[in-house]
């Protein structure tokens, strides 16, 4: 009889506990469900944003293919304003910057590349933008700015390419020893990213004593990107 009462007491205690804690348990379940539903909605929103941004990126490439730089620029601006959290915004800006370089609009290209370099969430795209910006700054005759841009480059597979362009900039500034060291650094790296044959030609042109008549040709070889 005592064992029976003990069991009944345990059951009564359990029921009382459930009654007391039921509101909190239900609230916890409701919060969990709400968070799950909210997450699903957010994921759906992000997927829709990404899909739309992808379409606009394709439209950017189409405009660039037609030579419609103004149209491409408008789409790039829309991407940056409304879809800046997607990589398509950065990819479109890089594509437009390339067209600007080909059109001789170096200042416009530099502005786009600097924006991508500083604002993108993708480290690889930031590296690409940094390298291209340094090349544009070199083409603008801004050697010191190019060297400063290159100095912020992260270590990694792109290091040889950064060393190569740094050598070009140093050569332009008359620092032949620095250029030689940079080009040799580019060749010493195990990863790719540079035209090894071209870099070897630049080194050979700089190391080999050339007669006065051949000096301009050697200098021109050294200035190749």
Digit-coded pLDDT (tens) for 68-113: 788 888 888 888 777 767 788 888 888 889 889 988 999 999 999 9
Task: Give just the sign of the alpha carbon dihedral 123, 117, 138, 102.
Answer: positive
| Cβ–Cβ under 8 Å, residues 110 and 133 | yes
Which of 162-166, 188-192, 194-198 shows the lowest per-residue confidence on average (mean pLDDT)? 188-192
Retrieve residue 168's tokens: 């070009």
Q: Is the per-residue pLDDT at 28 higher than 90?
A: no
pLDDT bracket for residue 191 (50, 70, 90): low
Q: Is the per-residue pLDDT at 60 higher than 50?
A: yes
- What are the residue ranges of helices labelled H in the chain? 2-65, 69-82, 87-102, 106-119, 123-139, 143-151, 159-172, 176-188, 196-207, 215-222
User: What confidence score (pLDDT) does residue 147 get?
Assistant: 96
| Cβ–Cβ under 8 Å, residues 223 and 171 | yes
| Cβ–Cβ under 8 Å, residues 64 and 73 | no
Q: Is the per-residue pLDDT at 115 higher than 90?
A: yes
10 secondary structure, DSSP code: H
Which of 52-66, 134-148, 211-225: highest mean pLDDT? 134-148
The percentage of the chain sitting over the pLDDT mark of 70, rounded to a whole number, equals 68
208 secondary structure, DSSP code: S
| Cβ–Cβ under 8 Å, residues 125 and 91 | yes
Q: Is the per-residue pLDDT at 121 higher than 60?
A: yes
50 secondary structure, DSSP code: H
- 19: buried, middle or exposed (CB in 10 Å: 19+, 13-18, 0-12)? exposed
Residues of the chain with CATH 1.25.40.10: 54-154
Supply the mean pLDDT for the chain.
Answer: 77
From the list 80, 112, 87, the residue with the least C-alpha distance to 99 is: 112
Which of 73-87, 97-111, 137-151, 168-182 shows the lowest per-residue confidence on average (mean pLDDT)? 73-87
Fold (CATH) for 54-154: 1.25.40
Q: Is the per-residue pLDDT at 17 higher than 50?
A: yes
| SS3 assignment, position 187 | helix
From the list 126, 102, 129, the residue with the least C-alpha distance to 113 is: 129
Q: What is the pLDDT of residues 45-59, one digit of tens each?
A: 455 656 777 777 888
User: What confidence score (pLDDT) does residue 9 get?
Assistant: 61
User: What confidence score (pLDDT) does residue 38 get?
Assistant: 52
Q: Is the per-residue pLDDT at 174 higher than 80?
A: yes
């Amino acid at each position: 009889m005592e064992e029976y009462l003990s069991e009944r007491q345990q059951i009564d205690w359990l029921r009382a506990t459930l009654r007391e804690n039921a509101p909190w348990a239900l609230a916890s379940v409701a919060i969990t469900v709400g968070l799950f539903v909210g997450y699903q909605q957010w994921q759906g929103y992000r997927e829709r944003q990404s899909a739309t941004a992808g379409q606009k990126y394709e439209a950017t490439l189409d405009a660039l293919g037609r030579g419609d730089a103004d149209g491409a620029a408008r789409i790039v601006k829309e991407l940056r304003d409304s879809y800046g959290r997607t990589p398509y915004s950065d990819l479109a800006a890089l594509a437009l910057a390339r067209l600007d370089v080909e059109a001789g609009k170096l200042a416009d290209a530099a502005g786009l590349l600097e924006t991508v370099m500083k604002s993108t969430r993708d480290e690889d795209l930031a590296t690409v933008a940094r390298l291209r910006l340094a090349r544009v700054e070199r083409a603008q005759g801004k050697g010191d700015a190019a060297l400063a841009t290159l100095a912020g480059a992260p270590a990694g597979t792109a290091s040889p390419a950064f060393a190569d362009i740094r050598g070009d900039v140093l050569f332009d500034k008359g620092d032949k020893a620095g250029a030689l060291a940079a080009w040799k650094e580019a060749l010493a790296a195990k990863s790719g990213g540079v035209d090894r044959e071209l870099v070897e030609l630049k080194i050979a042109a700089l190391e080999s004593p050339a007669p006065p008549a051949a000096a301009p040709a050697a200098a021109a070889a050294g200035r190749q990107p």
